[in-house]
């Protein structure tokens, strides 16, 4: 009897294995049929994949310089390996604390400045009844986004320099001129609020789209119940755009250490250096002016790794607190 049971079990296992093989063959055949039927779509993917491989992943080979005593005559591979030497030098340098402080202050200030005003603008446009007025406000606030950084900094220098428009107005009132671009305390405010003016209309588009996705029935029900405009905003509009705001906050947190180089560099001078010197401008001086390519690469890699960790941390916190996250 025992031998018969074993034979039956062996036969059943053999049958199951055959069924599994047949199922795998069928699923593979279905996959190949799908690929064959939609081959044009897969051909279209070739160029984007090549672009990513050639222009995104191939340059990452250069991060090896951050771990080597790079010598242009020897190349990356033949340059001597030094491990974490450049990372230690950067973290232990006297400039590290100041650079991190300036970078984080300007980044967080910019993050909040480019988030709250666009939300307010989007809600205001959404509540406006006159279509012509809504389109005009959107156009006026949207246009500065297309100005280049050079134009923006030129406008700021014309307005805020010692002989600029604002200082001439102050002098006309009998007050002493203020060195707006020379005092470190003004730098972060000038940088952030000029960015808010430039990008507020563009950033508001995302929140306007989120508001458009809120069901009109909710507003109608609130109006029937006697809710005023402020109650509708705080109990319908704000909760409706909160998931979008959280996602934008998470994405913005990834660039906490990556403050834009161009605008800061153009507004920077010896007088405001104490507040305007950030990691990106330091990398420029170290890498291009002092020709320390390995040190500059190590600092750039440090930025990327820390930014990725901050993104993951903020995403996890958001997932637990608000149930909105990137993944």
Least trusted range by pLDDT, from 70-74, 144-148, 307-311, 317-321: 317-321
User: 188: pLDDT confidence band, cut at 50, 70 and 90?
Assistant: very high
pLDDT mean over 71-95? 89
Instruction: Identify whether the C-beta of residue 198 lies closer than 8 Å to the C-beta of residue 262.
Output: no
5 pLDDT above the threshold of 80? no
Please give the pLDDT value at position 54.
87
User: Model confidence over 265-303: pLDDT tens digits?
Assistant: 999 988 999 999 999 999 999 988 888 889 999 998 998
140 pLDDT above the threshold of 60? yes
Please give the pLDDT value at position 219.
83
User: 20: pLDDT confidence band, cut at 50, 70 and 90?
Assistant: low
CA–CA gap between residue 305 and residue 28 (Å, rounded): 39
- Could you say which DSSP state residue 81 is in? B
Q: Quote the pTM value.
A: 0.80
CA–CA gap between residue 49 and residue 54 (Å, rounded): 9
Highest mean pLDDT of the ranges 158-162, 187-191, 228-232 = 187-191
Please give the pLDDT value at position 314.
84
Please give the pLDDT value at position 19.
65
Q: Between these two residues, 9 and 217, which has the higher pLDDT value?
A: 217
In three-state secondary structure terms, 68 is strand
Please give the pLDDT value at position 11.
47
The secondary structure of the chain in percent helix, strand, coil, rounded to multiples of 5, reads 80, 0, 20
Share of the chain above pLDDT 70, in %: 93
Please give the pLDDT value at position 16.
59
User: 68 has which bridge partners?
Assistant: 81
CA–CA gap between residue 81 and residue 64 (Å, rounded): 9
Class of domain 85-321: mainly alpha
65 pLDDT above the threshold of 70? yes
pLDDT mean over 127-135? 86
CB 166: neighbour CB atoms within 10 A? Answer: 14
CA–CA gap between residue 180 and residue 157 (Å, rounded): 9
Q: Between these two residues, 127 and 325, which has the higher pLDDT value?
A: 127
Reported in sequence order, the residue ranges of the chain that DSSP labels E, i.e. its strands, are: none
Please give the pLDDT value at position 8.
45
pLDDT mean over 176-181? 88
Share of the chain above pLDDT 90, in %: 28
3 pLDDT above the threshold of 80? no
């Amino acid at each position: 009897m025992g031998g018969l049971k074993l034979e039956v079990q062996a036969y059943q296992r053999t049958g199951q294995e055959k069924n599994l093989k047949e199922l795998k063959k069928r699923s593979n055949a279905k996959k190949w049929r799908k690929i064959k039927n939609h081959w044009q779509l897969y051909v279209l993917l070739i160029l984007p994949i090549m672009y990513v491989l050639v222009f995104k992943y191939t340059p990452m080979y250069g991060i090896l310089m951050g771990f080597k005593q790079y010598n242009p005559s020897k190349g990356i591979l033949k340059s001597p390996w030094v491990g974490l030497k450049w990372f230690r030098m950067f973290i232990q340098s006297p400039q590290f604390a100041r650079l991190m402080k300036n970078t984080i202050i300007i980044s967080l200030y910019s993050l909040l400045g480019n988030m709250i005003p666009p939300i307010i603008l989007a809600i205001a446009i959404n509540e406006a009844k006159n279509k012509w007025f809504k389109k005009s406000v959107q156009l006026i606030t949207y246009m500065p986004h297309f100005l280049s950084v050079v134009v923006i900094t030129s406008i700021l220098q014309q307005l805020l320099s010692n002989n600029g428009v604002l200082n001439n107005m102050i002098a006309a009132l009998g007050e002493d001129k203020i060195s707006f671009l020379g005092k470190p305390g003004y730098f972060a405010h000038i940088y952030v609020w000029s960015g808010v003016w430039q990008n507020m209309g563009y950033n508001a588009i995302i929140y306007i789209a989120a508001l458009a996705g809120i069901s009109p029935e909710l507003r109608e029900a609130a109006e029937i119940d006697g809710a005023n405009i402020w109650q509708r905003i705080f109990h319908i509009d704000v909760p409706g755009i909160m998931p979008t705001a959280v996602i934008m906050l998470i994405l913005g947190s990834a660039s906490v250490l990556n403050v834009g180089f161009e605008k800061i560099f153009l507004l920077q001078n010896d007088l405001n250096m104490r507040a305007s010197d950030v990691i990106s401008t330091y990398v420029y001086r170290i890498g291009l002016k002092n020709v320390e390519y390995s040190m500059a690469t190590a600092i750039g890699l440090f930025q990327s790794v820390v930014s990725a960790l901050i993104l993951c941390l903020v995403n996890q916190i958001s997932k637990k607190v608000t149930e909105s996250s990137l993944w």
